Every structure is written in structure tokens, then in C-alpha cells.
Amino acid sequence: MPWIYLMIAIIGEVIGTSALKSTEGFTRFWPSATVIVGYAVAFYFLSLTVDKIPVGISYAIWSALGIVLVSLIAWILHGQALDRPAIAGMGLIIAGVLVCTLWSKSATHG
């Protein structure tokens, strides 16, 4: 279950962060509510995750996948460009997550 909780936390964070641009400085109600709910879901499920997966590993995966997914959503929805260095950097982030989750003895798989 902790890995499912972590995925829910990531989805909540990605939804909340992706809605930030649409809040226009928190002057629009629904995008602002989306941000608040997204972050509430993210932090609640992240708190459940760190009971079983070390906080450093949980946070590394949560933030890394959030960076990549938010960047992709910003590219699709807002037309924000991703140049080669940005794509390469995100590839390195993904590689780091894979190393942490597949080979690190710090990441529990239960």
C-alpha cells in the first residue's frame, strides 16, 4: 500500500501544481480550490507513505516525478517549451528515481 499512497500523493501534487498558473494569483476560485485540495491530498498521502518508505526516498520519488509530470503538463496545456537540456535533465531525474527504487536498499518494497 505505501507505493499506492505515494502514487496518489504524486498525482495530488501534480494536479495542485499544474493548477497554480490558472489561479491568477489565487484570484480565481476553482483553480485555487484545485490547488488547495491537490496539495492536501498530496501531503496526506505522503504522510501515510513515510510510515513505510524512508522519508528521503519517498520525497525524492515524489518530487522527481512531480517535476517531470508538471513539466509535461505545462508543455501540453500552457505551451511552455522544453528544450534539449531540460529533457536531458528530466531523463537524469527519472534515472535517479529508477536507481533509488530498483537498487537502493534504502527503499523498502513492501
What average pLDDT does the chain have? 92
Q: How confident is the model at residue 107 (pLDDT cuts 50, 70, 90)?
A: low
Reported as a single tens digit per residue, the pLDDT across 43-83 is 999 999 999 998 988 998 999 999 999 999 999 988 999 99
Phi-psi region of 25 (alpha: psi -120 to 50; beta: other; left: phi over 0): left
pTM over the 0.85 mark: yes
Which one has a higher pLDDT value, 34 or 54? Answer: 34
Which one has a higher pLDDT value, 3 or 101? Answer: 3
